[in-house]
Amino acid sequence: MGRRALRKPDPSLDLTGYLLSFDDLPQPLQTTALFGRSGPLEIEVGSGKGLFLQNAAIRHPDRLYLGTEVAQKYARHAAGRLAKCGLTGAKIVVSDALRVFSERIAEASLAAVHVYFPDPWWKKRHKKRRVMVPAFLKDIERALEPGGRLHFWTDVEEYFHSTLELIAAETDLAGPFDVPEMPPEHDLDYRTHFERRTRLAGGPVYRAEFERKP
């Protein structure tokens, strides 16, 4: 399921502090340097239009959220969503998540990692481009604090099961734990726009959580 065209951004929105480049990230990434305060840090891989970042930051103001997005136009859209709501606990960086994890994220520094509806790269010769590959899964495990969680959702059954097999083979994460499907309370009460579109179309969503062991 492809991405839909974006609305033109509101030129009056000031994205300063919301839209980051890779070089804006401190090394190693520390919440006090990035957000001006401390708190549990969660990272979303591939934030798209930013619906998860917005809803999560509203619901959990005590937590801090960093989204990663390789497409600048989507990152700008997500940053505009955060800026419009005045959410100080969420930001988005225009970057490949694999680089962010390997070069900026310290050992046991994340409360959670969120990977929702990553590009499945359907063709066999392209599957090596998938984000859920052994090296990245090991980086996720390294970055999670003990008890920290990996949330993985997709609408592609083959990708779901092959990723669960990889996680079992390449990491020592506990799981998978089932994630029940919750009824939405309003039209945008979904993790992402992809989940909304999939569920409204009657399609299945495959969900699992994993936890770093003590």
Tell me which residues are annotated as active site. 119
Q: For residues 30 and 41, give the distance between their C-alpha atoms in angstroms, rounded to a whole number.
A: 9
**Which stretches does DSSP call E strand in the chain?**
19-21, 41-45, 64-69, 90-94, 110-116, 144-154, 174-177, 206-211
Cα dihedral sign, 43-48-53-55 = negative
Cα(176)–Cα(104) distance, integer angstroms: 27
Task: Assign 115 to helix, strand or coil.
Answer: strand
Long-range contacts, 5-8 (Cβ 8 Å, 24+) = 6/49, 6/73, 6/74, 6/77, 7/77
Q: Which single residue is written with the structure tokens 């309003």?
A: 186
Beta bridge mates, 151: 114, 209
Sign of the C-alpha dihedral computed for residues 194, 39, 147 and 58 taken in this order? negative
